[in-house]
Amino acid sequence: MRAMNMTNTISKTQLLLALTVALALFLTPAAFAAAPGITGPTFDLTAQAAFISQPDGQSVYSWGYGCNGAPTGYAPSAIGGTFCNTMQLPGPTLIVTEGSAVTVTLHNNLPVSAGNTSILFPGFNVTTSGGVAGLLTREAAPGGTVIYTLTASSVTPGTRAYYSGTQGDLQVEMGLYGAIIVLPAATPATCTSGVAASNDAARSHWLESDFRLAKAAYNNPQACYDREYLFQFSEMDPAIHRAAEEQVAIAAPICATSATAPGCSLNVPTEPYHPAYFMINGRSMPDNMDPNYAVQYPHQPYNGNPHMHPGELTLLRVIGTGRWQHPFHEHGNHVRILARDGNLILTPDGNALAGPLMFTTTTTPGLAMDGIFYWTAKGLNWDAYGHNPASTDPSAKLPCTPDANGYNTSAPNAINYYEWCQDHDKPLQVAPFGDVAGGGPATLPDPNLFANGAWFGGSPYLGPDATTRATYGACDSTGNCSTTGTTPPSGTIANNPSTEAGFAFMWHSHNEREITTNNIFPGGMLMMMLVDSREFQINESN
């Protein structure tokens, strides 16, 4: 598959069209994900109500945590246009450093009839002050405040969830949940040397900013990574939200008289449970492919649109929220699980990672996991860069010098950095239309036949001019190819594909209902992982 030149954007209508033609050659907007949030160790949060948007045009009454005033700071620093409203869904991602004493002040600005609210921080030792006694922790009464302090010794690296500990069947459903990321205090030496240093050099050469929160997820030499994304999976039953909205409105005049008056309370049924919206970071597809901090989502600031280069170790921070398990499948490769709820999974001697390779990262409500995803084209048995030794184009016959593991890592400035050299120069197509090697096992469709779909460009290759080299013009028996033709590669009208090509892998829930929005496909828990060669600059700022 081919991704567009990401300096351009396309409309959601075009995106839906692309999906309806089997997601062949795919274009996507210039919006990426990263793991944005606010920095501590001191946080001042509020819980209150607002409306969130869905792709079907609905505004859904919800509750969420937000910032009570300006936060201390935002991370990663390379992302611009940041904001933290008084309510967002999910709540602000809290980013702290190992060993910090973290203080979270919570103000209850929910409707009075909603009653008390609180925050649980599973995996941390917590002391509390203020507020009133609750079943699981101290709570903030309507209009009141409670303070939670995470003791420094318990603030260890990893990704964890936080969520309401008060009437969880209603308050978590309404949106009171978020993520806390703890960064290691030290960086293992392996994360600044060897291949890790080469990846940093490649990023610098191609003028990419570093959007990581750290260079390692844990204080372990095998926990290095090159790129990271946070995904919180949740579902929503609009009937519950509608009932809460209606009851709040009915109770408002009663509560204005007295918070303890009969009728100043909610009795919202949470069973039977029939969710119709399925979200990644508070948005359903295709909204989750718009930028972080997009102004059209004032209460849903985080997107879900991962992007990487071949060979990069991509850290996935995954959290299950809500009430259902979500069997999320990352096409392109398995995910190596590093840790669950901040607990690094190691062999008994502590010397090696022991987490499983997961075909589907099934999320359990309240469970967080960290995993590594990578893609290198290894095992395709054809050259993903379309190299052609007979070509007169130097970029079509770059060298591949294998390292001890078989990858081209000796030249981090090369377009085919991290190519799997065993497949170098191996052709895919029997008789290609353009300037790529012929004699392979496959016959691809004629890219000029629009019966294949308006987004199919015919090029399965990485690298500059890959689409043009593979589909445009004609070649003679010596390998010399024309640069002109009568019909350009498809997709040219919307976005010129001649300068960049890549692979698009659909990442989605394996529960088919969950890739719909109100039972309409496509939507819900669906996004695209885009893999591009090194010359394409991934820019995750807005």
Going from N- to C-terminal start, the domains of the chain cover: 1-26+378-461+465-499, 37-184
Higher pLDDT, 472 or 205: 205
Which percentage of the chain shows pLDDT scores above 90?
Answer: 67
Question: What percentage of the chain carries pLDDT values higher than 70?
Answer: 86
Tens-place pLDDT, residues 312-344: 999 999 999 989 999 999 999 999 999 999 999
Dump the DSSP string for 23-57: T-S----S------EEE-SEEEEEEEEEEEE-TTS
Over residues 272-318, the pLDDT tens digits come to 999 999 999 999 999 998 989 999 999 999 999 899 999 999 999 99
pLDDT at residue 445 in the model: 75
Least confidently predicted of 128-142, 211-225, 474-488, 517-531? 474-488
Taking CB atoms within 8 Å and a gap of at least 24, the contacts of 151-154 are: 151/101, 151/124, 151/125, 151/126, 151/127, 152/99, 152/100, 152/101, 153/99, 153/125, 154/123, 154/124, 154/125, 154/126
Return the closest-CA partner of residue 321 out of 106, 93, 140.
93
- Quote the pLDDT of residue 486: 45
| Amino acid 451: pLDDT | 66
- Name which CATH class applies to 37-184: mainly beta
Report yes or no on whether pTM surpasses 0.85: yes
Say which residue, 17 or 515, is predicted with more confidence: 515
Q: Please compute the mean of the pLDDT values over residues 74-96 and round it to a whole number.
A: 94
Q: Any idea which residue has 């060897």 for tokens?
A: 194
Q: What per-residue confidence (pLDDT) applies to 457?
A: 62
Q: Tell me the per-residue pLDDT of 93-122, one tens digit each, with 9 for 90 and over.
A: 999 999 999 999 999 999 999 999 999 999
Can you read off the two tokens belonging to residue 498? 């001649």
Tokens 């100043």 correspond to: 264
Give the Cα separation of 25 and 19 in Å (integer).
10
Helix (H, G, I), strand (E, B) or coil at 163: strand
Average pLDDT in the 76-80 region? 86
| Mean pLDDT (whole number) for 215-225 | 94
Tell me the average pLDDT across 134-159.
Answer: 96
| pLDDT above 80 for 135 | yes
pLDDT of residue 13: 32
pLDDT tens-digit profile of 403-436?
999 999 988 899 999 999 999 999 998 988 778 8
pLDDT at 464: 72
Does 358 have pLDDT greater than 90?
yes
Centre a 10 Å sphere on the Cβ of residue 272 and count the other Cβ atoms it contains. 7
Confidence of residue 526 (pLDDT cuts 50, 70, 90): very high
Q: How confident is the model at residue 218 (pLDDT cuts 50, 70, 90)?
A: very high
Within 8 A by CB and 6+ apart from 164, the residues are: 47, 117, 118, 119, 120, 171, 172, 176, 177
pLDDT at 532: 85
- 3-state SS, residue 60: strand
Residues 441-469 pLDDT 10s: 998 876 666 666 655 666 788 887 777 77
